[in-house]
Amino acid sequence: LFISATMEALSILSGILLLLLSGAQSHEPVLSEKLIRDISNYSEIALKIIDYSLTGPGANQSYNRLATFVDRYGPRLSGSSNLEDSIDHMLYLLQQDGLDNVHGEEVNVTHWVRGKEIAQLLEPRSAELSILGLGSSVGTPEEGITADAVVMRSFDELEERKDEVKDRIVVFNPTYVSYPVTVAYRVNGASRASKYGAVATLIRTVGPFSIYSPHTGMQVYNSSVPAIPTACITIEDANMLDRLERAGERLTIHLYMEAQTLPMVISRNTVAEIKGSVYPDQVVVVSGHLDSWDVGQGAMDDGGGAFISWQALSIVKGLGLTPKRTLRLVMWTDEEAGGIGSQQYYQRHREDADKYSILFESDEGVFLPYGILFSGSAEAKAILQQIGQLLVSINASEVYDNGGGTDVDWWREEKVPTASLANHNEHYFWYHHSNGDTMDVLDPEEMNLCSAVWAVYAYVLADLDDVLPRG
Ligand SMILES: [Zn+2]
């Protein structure tokens, strides 16, 4: 999951706009009797999908497939041979599963490498600080950087104390509010401090909880100021440095990072389909991203989303169902640098936007599901709410607003509906982008339920008479 503060601000703005627009509407959309009947007629198929996924041949399949995959390949950073080897294997697995049109679509992706990295507190006492360099960070000179540090609790404090920043390492220790809000320090902290002459930045991990785990993620340089090395530190160390500074101690830190950005390389979005029987050119997309950060196993972010999306096709195929329009799985590449692979997919396919009924993306956890989040017209939402009724038996019938994800949000420009999985992901940011993102975070039965939700929506939407209305 990548999100920048700007993107968040935009989505809040568009949310307000939507609110204003919906307030202006005088009536709720009413579905035709025929459409309600058509959707109700899928209740038997929906139950079959649920049984298949919970207790039938699909039970625990997505979890077991993912475990085998991430245990073998580990984390899959964009630009790495690890990622490309895992994509090769993924294409093989999808072919073995009997899916149609299995192929990789080539795209240009970022190639950042971490290298060795060390942070050492020298004063007031010697201690190693656990760090993870942030994606796109530059490295230090070979001899490293040794400098006194100042601790800033907010950008406001940085502005107030800007005269103290020159030639210093700036430690940001903002209180965690929420990921979309607090991530601004990770994304923009380096350049904000560089503007006043800082030589490096250490950012408190963006998350609500820690057992001494640094969490990496993307950061973005402002090209008008020098690019300085930047890494995240643990919440515990950020708080300790904060206390030491308040106690009047002089803080001296030595930082060494080999990080560098290499030229872009070719990767692939991984595609597989169940070809539609009546409208093969029209598609419903289910998706997650296959790339990950270079720590942990990339199991939760976003192996889980990618593998429940595969599972949705597996279930439909396993039940011998063929929808009228094509059900397409896309496992995106280089999501973590800001949706690099999906943006090129969009640019290449946007001329066919009228053939895309909806794009689903799961990139916010595959924990216990309770519905979906949706972005699109009120009429389309009413259709999804009707389909949600097919999931009452597993308590996953709710449809909320503001669906989508980094990889599918591009399509909103063409008014194509998007959706994501509403799930109990309250602990998502405990593990996100850290060495803690392993299979142990996930649960096979929860993934069975997520797969069933995904399969019911995807199949019914691919099989209805019409693509979803735009808007
Ligand atoms: Zn993700």
pLDDT at residue number 380: 98
Residue 343: count other Cβ atoms within 10 Å of its Cβ: 18
Tokens of 160: 């107030």
- d(CA 44, ligand 1 centre) in Å: 34
- d(CA 37, ligand 1 centre) in Å: 37
**Residue 175, SS3?**
coil
Tokens of 33: 């009797």
How far is the C-alpha of 256 from the C-alpha of 389, rounded, in Å?
56
- d(CA 112, ligand 1 centre) in Å: 17
How far is the C-alpha of 418 from the C-alpha of 371, rounded, in Å?
14
96 CB-near residues (< 8 Å, 6+ apart)? none
Q: Domain limits of the chain? A: 5-110+263-463, 115-258
How far is the C-alpha of 193 from the C-alpha of 315, rounded, in Å?
51
pLDDT tens figures, 148-200: 999 999 999 999 999 999 999 999 999 999 999 999 999 999 999 999 999 99
Residue 395: count other Cβ atoms within 10 Å of its Cβ: 12
Q: How confident is the model at residue 336 (pLDDT cuts 50, 70, 90)?
A: very high
Instruction: Determine the average pLDDT of the residues in 65-86.
Output: 98
> Dihedral angle at the C-alpha atoms of 387, 389, 392, 397, nearest 10 degrees?
60
Report phi then psi at 414, rounded to 5: -95, 10
- d(CA 427, ligand 1 centre) in Å: 14
Judge whether residue 13 has pLDDT over 60. Answer: no
Q: How confident is the model at residue 28 (pLDDT cuts 50, 70, 90)?
A: confident
> Scanning the structure block, which residue is given the tokens 């405990």?
430
Tokens of 320: 């011998």
How far is the C-alpha of 27 from the C-alpha of 11, rounded, in Å?
25
Whether CATH 3.30.460.10 fits 115-258: no
- 62 near 308, Cβ under 8 Å? yes
> Dihedral angle at the C-alpha atoms of 447, 404, 435, 148, nearest 10 degrees?
-160
Q: Domain spanning 5-110+263-463: which superfamily? A: Zn peptidases (3.40.630.10)
- Cβ-in-10-Å burial (0-12, 13-18, 19+) of 13 comes to exposed
pLDDT tens figures, 370-424: 999 999 999 999 999 999 999 999 999 999 999 999 999 999 999 999 999 999 9
Q: How confident is the model at residue 29 (pLDDT cuts 50, 70, 90)?
A: confident
Nearest to 324 by CA among 51, 65, 38, 122: 38
Instruction: Determine the average pLDDT of the residues in 224-232.
Output: 98
Q: How confident is the model at residue 223 (pLDDT cuts 50, 70, 90)?
A: very high
Known catalytic residue: 336? no
pLDDT at residue number 5: 52
Same fold, 5-110+263-463 and 115-258: no
User: Of 84, 335, 361, 446, which is the active-site residue?
Assistant: 335
Q: Please, what is the Cα angle at 85 between 81 and 89, to 5 degrees?
A: 170
Which phi-psi region, left, alpha or beta, contains residue 320 (left: φ > 0; alpha: ψ -120 to 50)? left
399 CB-near residues (< 8 Å, 6+ apart)? 371, 372, 373, 374, 381, 384, 385, 388
Q: What percent of the chain has pLDDT over 90?
A: 93
pLDDT at residue number 6: 55
- d(CA 1, ligand 1 centre) in Å: 3
Rounded mean pLDDT of the chain?
95
pLDDT tens figures, 299-331: 999 999 999 999 999 999 999 999 999 999 999
Which phi-psi region, left, alpha or beta, contains residue 334 (left: φ > 0; alpha: ψ -120 to 50)? left
326 bridge partner residues: 283
Report phi then psi at 402, rounded to 5: 65, 50
- d(CA 269, ligand 1 centre) in Å: 15
What letter represents residue 85's amino acid? D
Cα 366 vs. chain centroid, distance in angstroms? 12
